[in-house]
Structure 1
Amino acid sequence: MANATQNRPLSPHLSIYHMYPTMVMSIVHRITGGALYFGTLLVAWWLIAAAAGPAYFEFTNAIFGSIIGRLVLFGYTWALLHHMIGGIRHLVWDTGRGLEKHASTRIAWATLACSVALTIILWAIALIFA
């Protein structure tokens, strides 16, 4: 019996896996989903501040308008767009398309590129019209 347990193969460790773009985007999709919970609290805070009165709303806008506040909002925007595009990617996969290795890698890179580009475009438009 002791010999049988000693000759068992070991489970694969994380060190033997190579990080592929599809794997990274799957992990990032889960992280952005979690980050959206925090961002939704920020949206709720802003809406509550708007309902609470002008003084508290100005206080909240001052926090969101600070450099750190804008960085957090920029990150929230990117997380929202990345998660949405990742969800579209999964919808495409549900149709049976894009599952080949090279196609899924291209789609993973496209997900990242599109989310970054859309975030920058959205913020550029917002800053132009602000």
Structure 2
Amino acid sequence: MQDIRKALYVGSRSDGTLIERPMSPHLQVYRYRLSMVLSISNRITGVIATGGAALGVFWLGAAAKGPKAFETARKVTGNPLGQLVLLGWLGSVVYHTVGGIRHLIWDAGHRYDKEELNKDGPVAVKVTAGVSAVLGIALLCVAGRRRHARAKAAKVS
């Protein structure tokens, strides 16, 4: 069965002849490009970063509330799932920051040619991966050393 609805409107060419034009392009029309995916990802990571900031406020609130509440927050952030969520938050904040820097450069009127955009996309992905990996490993090492120091102190007492 054929869909009888039309997503077209009647427009006119510059010579005055009538033509049917699409009302809005659909995703099937576009060819996916890295710049398109990165733009959508920048928006998604902005939402994730905001949600992670709410988790940060929860953690700070638990620290302010007292040792019992803070220990609960540490249990949540200390288990593997909690650490995975924190690493995802870290990656999204780093990517959103890199995307923000790209947009700042574009707003200044630089690197806006098609060739430059296509070159900058993979660079943004690599920078995000590198910075996220370095920060994630550093944070996991610090957490491991603190856990080791707490275990050592517990043995002594």
Q: TM-score, normalized by length of structure 1?
A: 0.90
Structure 1 distance, partners of 2:27, 2:46, is 23
1:8 alignment counterpart: 20
**Greater helix share, 1 or 2?**
1
Letter of the aligned partner of 2:98 in structure 1? Answer: I
Percentage of pairs with the same residue: 35
Structure 1 residue 72 displacement after superposition: 0.6
Larger radius of gyration: 2
* RMSD after superposition: 1.7
Structure 1 residue 21 displacement after superposition: 1.0
Structure 1 unmatched runs, 5+: none
- The one of the two structures with greater contact order (alpha-carbon pairs below 8 A, sep at least 6) is 1
- Written as runs of structure 1 = structure 2, the 5 A alignment for 1:1-130 is 8-10=20-22, 11-130=24-143
Q: Which segments of structure 1 move beyond 2 Å, counting only runs of 4 or more?
A: 9-12, 127-130
Structure 1 residue 127 displacement after superposition: 2.2
Where 2:138 maps in the other structure, the secondary structure is helix
Letter of the aligned partner of 2:141 in structure 1? Answer: I
Structure 2 distance, partners of 1:98, 1:20, is 17
**Greater strand share, 1 or 2?**
2
Structure 2 distance, partners of 1:118, 1:60, is 26
Q: How many residues align?
A: 127
